């Protein structure tokens, strides 16, 4: 490569790289916003064959370190800590362990609510409305 061509390539890179860095920072901010948008207190309902269960989900923490609890409205049930709280784009993945085994809830935003499915120890449809 000639010196002139090398200088042209380096000049083009100097013009392009700041734009790439800016775009990456926007993606990182978007991910932070997505995680922050999921924090809060939700009243949930699970519809399973022959049974409906309500309760409360709490999601808190910092970006990349979200945590929380799920508390079903069932006699004698205490809140359970989530083993995993993961945000992947707009989806949120919650994993917790009960006396019946591990369960996972996968939710997608729908306005100020979340909708999705529970699987594992339980199976059904989940909806959650943000209350705070």
Which domains does the chain show, CATH number per domain?
Answer: 35-130 (2.40.128.120)
- Check pLDDT > 70 for residue 46: yes
Strand stretches in the chain, DSSP E: 40-48, 51-62, 65-72, 80-81, 84-88, 91-98, 101-110, 113-120, 124-130
| Position 9 confidence tier, pLDDT thresholds 50, 70, 90 | low
d(CA 121, CA 107) in angstroms, rounded, equals: 17
| Position 10 confidence tier, pLDDT thresholds 50, 70, 90 | low
This prediction's pTM: 0.72
- Check pLDDT > 90 for residue 54: yes
Tell me: the pLDDT tens digits for 73-103?
Answer: 999 999 999 999 999 989 999 999 999 999 9
């Amino acid at each position: 490569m000639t010196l002139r061509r090398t200088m042209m390539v380096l000049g083009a890179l100097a013009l392009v790289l700041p734009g790439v860095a800016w775009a990456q920072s926007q993606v990182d901010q978007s991910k932070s916003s997505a995680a922050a948008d999921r924090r809060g207190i939700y009243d949930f309902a699970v519809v399973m064959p022959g049974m409906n269960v309500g309760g409360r989900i709490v999601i808190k923490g910092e970006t990349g370190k979200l945590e929380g609890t799920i508390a079903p409205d069932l006699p004698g049930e205490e809140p359970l800590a989530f083993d995993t709280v993961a945000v992947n784009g707009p989806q949120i993945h919650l994993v917790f362990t009960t006396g019946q085994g591990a369960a996972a809830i996968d939710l997608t935003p729908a306005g100020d609510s979340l909708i999705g499915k529970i699987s594992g120890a339980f199976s059904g449809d989940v909806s959650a409305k943000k209350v705070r």
